[in-house]
Amino acid sequence: MNKFLFCLAILCFSQLSYSQSNRTMKTINPAMITSFAPTGTLRVGINLGNPILANEDPISHQPQGVTVDIAQEIGKRIGLPVKLIPFKTAGNTVDAVKTGEVDLVFVAIDPVRGADISYTPAYIQIEGAYMVKASSPIQSNEQVDVANNEIVVGKGSAYDLYLTREIKHAALLRAASSQAVVDDFMSGKGNIAAGVKQQLESDAKRYDGLRMLPGRFMVINQAIGIPNARPQYEQTTAYLADVITQLKQSGFVAQAMKRHQIEGARVAD
């Protein structure tokens, strides 16, 4: 009897494995791959403007980080070589996917960008925060959106897009990139700096007399984006959504964050 149950279990497992393999084969088809990466190489836009997502290796000068790891995994799964194309800002990265220069990007989900980009579910959530000078009378986020306040933010970043919609009374001063926000702020521009919490905390170490405001003003969902102008983009997005779900559930994303010593973010639900 035990032998019978054992054999039955083996048979069920084999059928399940075959079913899962067959489903994967149906999902990855030549037409989808051709639409997804028409050059035969998966061209991936890497945003170096957000240190949580990626940065430049100081020795090899090549992009490294969580998004690079995910991009390489996707290339492995679809059987295509991966070409990493770095950009200094999120805005430049988004422009590149809209013009067809790249096939896939890692950017924040935003309704303004959503008109041209199809998103997967989020893989990482990042906090946006404010920083002021130690002498500033501002003590909380609620005191930011006030007339005569000036907020320095990276041009075209998710924070810029969000604050453009939400800020009603304060003025926005746009730095060339997220990395330039604190330098512009310390050069005398504005009285509040806004951006990735981790980026601001890191930049604050280069200067004296700065402090973060408690809490956050927004949570940003980072996802994979592809151009929705391409044929079969819905099928491609569904496939990538499934990949992201698997990478989150398996611990791949969490392990990548740990490997690259990422703090100030968490794996998205």
Tens of pLDDT along 134-182?
Answer: 999 999 999 999 999 999 999 888 889 899 999 999 999 999 988 899 9
* Amino acid 27: pLDDT: 53
User: What percent of the chain has a predicted confidence (pLDDT) above 90?
Assistant: 65
Dihedral angle computed from the Cα positions of residues 167, 173, 174 and 180, in that order, rounded to the nearest 10 degrees: -120
Judge whether 236 and 35 are in contact, CB under 8 Å. yes
167-to-73, 142, 150, 171, 226 alpha-carbon distances in Å: 39, 11, 11, 8, 29
The number of C-alpha atoms within 13 Å of 255 and in the hemisphere containing its C-beta is 8
Report which of residues 22 and 224 the model is more confident about: 224
Mean pLDDT for the chain?
A: 87
pTM above 0.85, yes or no: no
**Domain-by-domain residue ranges, the chain?**
2-124+221-267, 126-219
Say whether pLDDT at 263 is over 60: yes
* Amino acid 21: pLDDT: 36
Report which of residues 26 and 72 the model is more confident about: 72
Q: What fold is seen in the domain 126-219?
A: D-Maltodextrin-Binding Protein; domain 2 (3.40.190)
Judge whether 63 and 57 are in contact, CB under 8 Å. yes
Tokens of 234: 């819905």
Same fold, 2-124+221-267 and 126-219: yes
Class of the CATH domain delimited by 2-124+221-267: alpha beta
- End-to-end Cα distance, the chain: 43
Q: Where does 15-123 show beta strands of DSSP type E?
A: 42-47, 55-56, 63-64, 82-87, 104-108, 117-119
Say whether pLDDT at 80 is over 60: yes
